[in-house]
Amino acid sequence: MSFLTAALYKFVELPDYAALQAPLLACCEANGVKGTLLLAEEGINGTIAGPEAGVRAVLAYLRQDPRLAQLEHKEAWADKSTFYRMKVRLKREIVTLGVPDVHPALMAGQYVKPADWNALLSEPGVVLVDTRNDYEVYIGTFEGAINPATSSFSELPAWVEREMREGGQLADKDGKKPKLAMFCTGGIRCEKSTAFMRAKGFDEVYHLEGGILKYLETMPEAQSRWQGECFVFDERVSVGHGLKPGAHTLCRSCRDPLTDQDRASPLYELGVSCPHCHDRTSEAQKAGYRERQRQVELAQARHAAHIGVRQDSQSGH
């Protein structure tokens, strides 16, 4: 377990974010670190992996900037690198909601520590919302959570608007907005979504500090209200309690997580298709994926990484 993975994000004003790109990329490459980091005026987000000394050197470099001095990260270990490339990208948002004037650094909901999360969920009337995408919810979520069935985070505002109407799951009850508990993988989408909900007039808005990953890391499995595994945006694909690697693999066509049942389907072809995407790709696309898979297998036979394999972090902490 010699490779360290660090997931990180921070909402902070970085008006000079474009100027940070090249030096940060150079630092990562000099230290043998790979992954994806996103920079925007609202902050930084991403996941990096590599030798422990290299990852810690990059984290120290970031924290030299006074604005990032309090940057927190989450660690996990693997016996191989979870990424094949290093990318530092400039973005409009570090997690795309698509709603202007939502400022998580100023408006986010109230943190709830993992040790206190179960108690919050036991309170009567609490509405529990999974802010992640449908393919993530598919492999695991908290008992009783609402699945907005979104394919991207930017679809969440439209779902909120629909559910705030009379009869919806977020509608007023007895003239009062419900108490909300929201969660995501590592916390970043919760900070933005809870800020959005507060802007929509919800006063009691809570989110799981450190996200699902911190809950799975610290909560004893016997006391857990989590069901299934948690999708992660690297080659581990999913993790369970104690952040142990899960049983899921990744479809190289649609990037959805795959169960044993999915892989047993006649619609599954390694590197080409799965039950989720088989009917959405043409024969020409499948032929291209087959050639890519052939190149991957040739590279593996040479004990080399195939740089054509998509390893983009979707950065959905």
The residues annotated as belonging to the active site are 184
- List 183's β-bridge partners, or say none: 130
Q: What is the pLDDT of residues 197-223, one digit of tens each?
A: 999 999 999 999 999 999 999 999 999
CB 54 within 8 A of CB 31: yes
CB 137 within 8 A of CB 257: no
Domain residue spans of the chain: 3-90, 104-223, 248-317
The tokens describing 292, both together, are: 């890519």
**Domain covering 3-90, topology:** Alpha-Beta Plaits (3.30.70)
The residue behind tokens 């080399």 is 304
pLDDT of residue 55: 97
Please give the radius of gyration of the chain, using alpha carbons only, rounded to the nearest integer.
20
pLDDT of residue 1: 62
pLDDT of residue 17: 98
Buried b (16+ CB within 10 A) or exposed e, 143-162: eebbebebeebebbbebbee
| Residue closest to 217 by CA, chosen among 257, 185, 183, 258 | 185
Pairing outcome for strands 140-142 and 226-228: antiparallel
* pLDDT, averaged in runs of 10, over the chain (317 residues): 88 96 98 96 94 97 97 85 90 93 89 97 97 95 97 96 96 94 94 96 96 94 96 86 91 92 95 95 94 89 62 47
pLDDT of residue 137: 96
pLDDT of residue 77: 84
Pairing outcome for strands 43-51 and 140-142: unpaired
The dihedral over CA atoms of 155, 134, 95, 52, expressed in degrees to the nearest 10, equals 180
| Residue closest to 73 by CA, chosen among 142, 132, 4 | 4
Domains 3-90 and 104-223 fall in the same CATH topology: no
**Domain covering 104-223, topology:** Oxidized Rhodanese; domain 1 (3.40.250)
pLDDT of residue 245: 87
Measure CA of the first residue to CA of the last residue in the chain; give whole Å: 23
The tokens describing 26, both together, are: 């150079």
pTM above 0.85, yes or no: no
- List 206's β-bridge partners, or say none: 110, 181
Pairing outcome for strands 230-231 and 238-239: antiparallel
Strands (E), 125-197: 127-130, 140-142, 180-183
CB 272 within 8 A of CB 289: yes
